[in-house]
């Protein structure tokens, strides 16, 4: 059905999507274990391609050297922030001494962050090959080429933003933007996969317009993005409580409004997902992709709710934190693809 060159692009794109979720998983592990500053510089780690495993291997006077380098990078970044109309935020970046705080060397955290970066490099190559292979559609479906090349540009921006995350000592709003940009990259990869697979196999598309279903899916996608933002706020509150020496047993009770809004929106997401599931099951055969992805979305939101309950009832265990983030990204991806599958067949 598909020519060899198109099969190559589709296969590469599918692998890219898989590796993207691996990157998100690795990032979740880094965040939940507090390993974000395991490497104080970027893109190398302690100015080495292979990071140290013992404190004796650290460069002499590395603390002052890296703090000075991060300060200079932050000054440049503050100019960019001010240029886009956020002078107060830029001023905070320039004068907040806490973002230059040095963290003691920890081999486990260093290698956790290093592995995260290695997976990021792999996804960069995957997106590069996807962009190269997409040129097979230059005449038949040029939009695939444009989106694939754009995704390569976005991942370069994401890599630069990752260096800013390090230089600003994990500033919360930058982590939020970093996560949202990761979802953008996932969405573009899924969209190019959808365009490539439906170009020759239109049988997976629907025959009638179901604007209600597509609208509900879009509402859920928007809600998921909002949840990510509030989830980052919850995580920031946990970090503050941990820094203040508050016991883990008291974290949930002292999280404040961000947590309450996050929890309420979670129940809204659950209810909306159930409604969407039954509407899709009512319209489509159980053998269709639409039905299968409706099941996937329902299962994922169930797992997400369970991980949220575990976080709340068992004092925010690190494993559940990672699961919560990864399942949220999988939910976003599956829901986005389901929304695309609601597109009417063009005759």
Domains in the chain, CATH or no CATH each: 1-200 (no CATH), 203-347 (1.20.120)
Where residue 175 falls among pLDDT bands split at 50, 70, 90?
Answer: confident
Query: Tokens standing for 338?
Result: 């389901």
Residues 249 and 210 sit within 8 Å (Cβ to Cβ): no
Choose the weakest-confidence range: 230-234, 265-269, 327-331: 230-234
Where residue 147 falls among pLDDT bands split at 50, 70, 90?
Answer: very high
Helix (H) or strand (E) holding 185: helix 172-200
Check whether 239 has a pLDDT greater than 80: no
Where residue 248 falls among pLDDT bands split at 50, 70, 90?
Answer: confident
Check whether 99 has a pLDDT greater than 70: no
- Tell me: the pLDDT tens digits for 185-214? 999 999 999 999 988 877 777 766 777 888
User: For the chain, what is the mean pLDDT?
Assistant: 85
User: 48: which strand partners?
Assistant: 45
Check whether 347 has a pLDDT greater than 60: no
Check whether 282 has a pLDDT greater than 70: yes
Cβ neighbors of 46 (< 8 A, separation 6 or more) are 39, 40, 52, 57, 58, 59, 62, 110
In this prediction, residues 108-136 reach a mean pLDDT of 92
More confident residue, 21 or 42: 21
Check whether 170 has a pLDDT greater than 70: no
Where residue 10 falls among pLDDT bands split at 50, 70, 90?
Answer: very high
Check whether 345 has a pLDDT greater than 70: no
Under DSSP, the state recorded for 59 is: P
d(CA 185, CA 157): 11
Residues 62 and 46 sit within 8 Å (Cβ to Cβ): yes
What pLDDT score does 16 carry? 96
Cβ neighbors of 105 (< 8 A, separation 6 or more) are 52, 55, 58
Residues 299 and 6 sit within 8 Å (Cβ to Cβ): no
Query: What would the DSSP string read from start to end of 313-338?
Result: HTT--HHHHHHHHHHHHHHHHHHHHH
d(CA 319, CA 302): 17
In this prediction, residues 134-151 reach a mean pLDDT of 94
Cβ neighbors of 234 (< 8 A, separation 6 or more) are 255, 258, 259, 262
């Amino acid at each position: 059905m598909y020519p060899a060159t198109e099969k190559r692009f589709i296969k590469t794109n599918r692998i890219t999507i898989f590796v993207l979720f691996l990157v998100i998983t690795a990032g979740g592990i880094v965040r939940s274990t507090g390993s974000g500053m395991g490497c104080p510089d970027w893109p190398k780690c302690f100015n080495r391609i292979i990071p140290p495993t013992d404190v004796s291997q650290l460069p002499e006077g590395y603390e002052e050297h890296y703090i000075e380098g991060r300060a200079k990078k932050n000054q440049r970044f503050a100019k960019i922030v001010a240029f886009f109309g956020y002078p107060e935020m830029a001023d905070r970046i320039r004068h907040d001494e806490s973002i230059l705080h040095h963290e003691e060397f920890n081999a486990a955290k260093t290698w956790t962050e290093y592995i995260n970066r290695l997976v990021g490099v792999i996804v960069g190559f995957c997106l590069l090959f996807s962009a190269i292979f997409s040129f097979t559609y230059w005449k038949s479906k040029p939009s695939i080429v444009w989106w694939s090349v754009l995704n390569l540009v976005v991942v370069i921006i994401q890599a630069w933003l990752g260096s800013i995350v390090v230089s600003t000592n994990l500033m919360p709003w930058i982590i939020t933007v970093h996560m949202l940009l990761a979802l953008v990259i996932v969405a573009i990869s899924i969209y190019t996969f959808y365009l490539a697979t439906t170009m020759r196999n239109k049988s997976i598309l629907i025959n009638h317009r179901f604007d209600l279903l597509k609208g509900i899916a879009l509402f859920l996608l928007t809600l998921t993005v909002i949840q990510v933002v509030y989830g980052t706020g919850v995580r920031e509150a946990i970090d503050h409580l941990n820094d203040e020496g508050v016991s883990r047993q008291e974290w949930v009770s002292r999280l404040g409004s961000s947590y309450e809004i996050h929890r309420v929106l979670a129940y809204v997401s659950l209810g909306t997902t159930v409604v969407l599931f039954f509407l899709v099951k009512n319209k489509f055969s159980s053998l269709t992709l639409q039905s299968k992805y409706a099941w996937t979305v329902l299962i994922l939101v169930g797992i997400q709710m369970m991980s949220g309950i575990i976080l709340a009832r068992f004092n925010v265990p690190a494993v559940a934190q990672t699961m919560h983030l990864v399942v949220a990204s999988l939910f976003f991806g599956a829901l986005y693809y389901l929304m695309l599958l609601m597109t009417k067949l063009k005759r």
